[in-house]
Amino acid sequence: MGCCHADFAALEGSDRGFTIGMPTFSFGPGVLAEAGDNAAELGLTRVALFTDRSLAAGEHVAKVKASLAAAKVDAVVYDQVEIEPNDRSLQEAARFARDANVDGYVSVGGGSVMDTCKSANLYATYPAAFMTYVNAPIGAGARVPGPVKPHIACPTTSGTGSETTGIAIFTLSSINAKTGIISRRLIPTVALVDPDVTRSLPANVVAATGFDCMSHALESITARLYPRRLNKAQGILRPVSQGANPFSDALAVQALDSVGKYLVRAVRDASDAEARSEMMYAAMLAGIAFNAAGCHLPHGLSYAVSGLVRDWHVAGYPEGKSLIPHGMAVVLNNPSVWRHTAPAHPERHLRCACALGADTRGATDADAGEVLAGRVIELMRAAGMPNGLTALGLGEDQLDALATGAEPQYRVIKNAPVDIGRDEIKALFRAALRYW
């Protein structure tokens, strides 16, 4: 079984299996126009079409609407999705879904839109107090009771892979931290992954989402190995995120190969259809990979960063709203994390570096962290990322607050290949302050 099969040798008491969930997907230029036929094939007659305000009047939504109309599927549009959703915006969307009387869902947008749609579908199908399905220990972590309604996900960004995952992420205002709802039931039924949508993407969105994709792949490969996972539930109760496994390894390596070759080209030239298309495909592969393997430190730490920074705006994101794009917050912690986790699995870190295009000839296990961190920093510089957390206005004085902000993320952080406590978290943030 694949390379590194020895990594997956069963341990005493460990689960011998792993489970991969994913939607039926279609990939290729023009597949957005297949939304109507897919909806009809699923038996849908009236769908809720989720999008965001800026995409609502654009060509991608128009194409999907026309396709649904041609297939005689009614569509009622919800365009009030919040970019980087929160508990309030998810509940508003769920109220809309409950009142819309639909038999299915279509989402056209980035991770913010697809996640809002998944959550609205869940709460409209199985109404409950909002914290019921939110991950424990922040929420009650209740299991989704049964299938939700069919969902056709049409991603318009190239990074989150949300079209393939059973994950909906949002900011919980009461603790100013990101958390989520996770269930295989939330995996979209069908994903229509159309690289034509990337033509209209602003360079900053390509860069941030591209690094999100890269980190999903890196975290999948370097996560705790599945026979060593801490939640040992088996069979139907097996968790969605199970740690590194041979299937997610294969997809993630392929995604990294594309990121290494095409991310910078895709950022620099909107007319480079090959590069933008490859990034769209890589994002989907990395989504399938991290849905099964789980993320760990870079995502866990990123949520503390996005929760703490005020007054930051990047062109291409909604005007008048302070936010650090998700992928930007994630990549800023990357080099610091790889330097720390490499000793746990040097071969895996070197494999990642090699897939990303680093010259690994002659590199020893002791070099693994530095080689991978170095290649990520090269890509960050070439794609115009900020030089560490200092560039966002964070410094030594904020290390305690950052460590506290990471505490709600221990569920994710524990999927790291090494044990991590508050002191290590502070050290990781300190090492992420400046890279060049």
Ligand X SMILES: NC(=O)c1ccc[n+]([C@@H]2O[C@H](COP(=O)([O-])OP(=O)(O)OC[C@H]3O[C@@H](n4cnc5c(N)ncnc54)[C@H](O)[C@@H]3O)[C@@H](O)[C@H]2O)c1
- Dist. CA 216–CA 254, nearest whole Å: 12
State which residue, 24 or 200, has the beta carbon closest to ligand X.
200
Do the beta carbons of residue 206 and residue 265 sit within 8 Å? Answer: no
Give the count of alpha carbons within 13 A of 321, CB side only: 12
* Contacted entry of Fe ion, ligand X, none for residue 334, CB cut-off 5 to 8 Å set by kind: none
Work out how close the CB of 34 gets to ligand X at its nearest, in angstroms, rounded to a whole number.
18
State which residue, 112 or 121, has the beta carbon closest to ligand X.
112
* Contacted entry of Fe ion, ligand X, none for residue 354, CB cut-off 5 to 8 Å set by kind: none
- Dist. CA 368–CA 372, nearest whole Å: 6
At 400, is the secondary structure helix, strand, or coil?
helix
Work out how close the CB of 197 gets to ligand X at its nearest, in angstroms, rounded to a whole number.
4
Tokens representing residue 359 in the block: 């010259």
Cα first-last separation, the chain? 40
Numbers of helices and strands, H then E, in the chain: 16, 8
Work out how close the CB of 39 gets to ligand X at its nearest, in angstroms, rounded to a whole number.
21
* Contacted entry of ligand X, Fe ion, none for residue 31, CB cut-off 5 to 8 Å set by kind: none
Work out how close the CB of 92 gets to ligand X at its nearest, in angstroms, rounded to a whole number.
16
Q: Measured between alpha carbons, how far is residue 288 from residues 24, 88, 139, 349 in Å?
A: 11, 28, 25, 20
Other Cβ atoms within 10 Å of 282 Cβ, number = 31
Report the greatest alpha carbon distance in the chain. 62
State which residue, 108 or 373, has the beta carbon closest to ligand X.
108
- The strand ranges marked E within 62-102 are 74-81
Do the beta carbons of residue 117 and residue 151 sit within 8 Å? Answer: yes
Q: Does 115 bind Fe ion (CB under 5 A)?
A: no
Q: Which stretch binds Fe ion (CB under 5 A): 95-103, 188-196, 204-212, 359-367?
A: 204-212
State which residue, 350 or 416, has the beta carbon closest to ligand X.
416
* Contacted entry of Fe ion, ligand X, none for residue 206, CB cut-off 5 to 8 Å set by kind: none
Q: Which stretch binds Fe ion (CB under 5 A): 146-154, 212-220, 223-231, 426-434?
A: 212-220
* Contacted entry of Fe ion, ligand X, none for residue 112, CB cut-off 5 to 8 Å set by kind: ligand X
Do the beta carbons of residue 307 and residue 176 sit within 8 Å? Answer: yes
Work out how close the CB of 330 gets to Fe ion at its nearest, in angstroms, rounded to a whole number.
6
Task: Choose, by CB under 5 A, the member of 15, 52, 84, 212 that binds Fe ion.
Answer: 212
The answer for 39, left when phi > 0, alpha when psi is -120 to 50, beta otherwise, is alpha
* Contacted entry of ligand X, Fe ion, none for residue 318, CB cut-off 5 to 8 Å set by kind: ligand X
Work out how close the CB of 14 gets to ligand X at its nearest, in angstroms, rounded to a whole number.
26
State which residue, 108 or 283, has the beta carbon closest to Fe ion.
283
State which residue, 112 or 360, has the beta carbon closest to ligand X.
112
Work out how close the CB of 305 gets to Fe ion at its nearest, in angstroms, rounded to a whole number.
13
Q: Measured between alpha carbons, how far is residue 299 from residues 157, 320, 412 in Å?
A: 18, 25, 8
Work out how close the CB of 318 gets to ligand X at its nearest, in angstroms, rounded to a whole number.
5
Residues that bind ligand X (CB under 6 A): 52, 54-55, 83-84, 109-113, 115, 156-157, 159-162, 165, 167-169, 197, 200-201, 205, 209, 212, 317-318, 326
Tell me how many degrees the CA angle 65-44-118 measures, rounded to the nearest 5.
Answer: 75
Give the count of alpha carbons within 13 A of 380, CB side only: 25
Contact set with Fe ion (CB under 5 A): 212
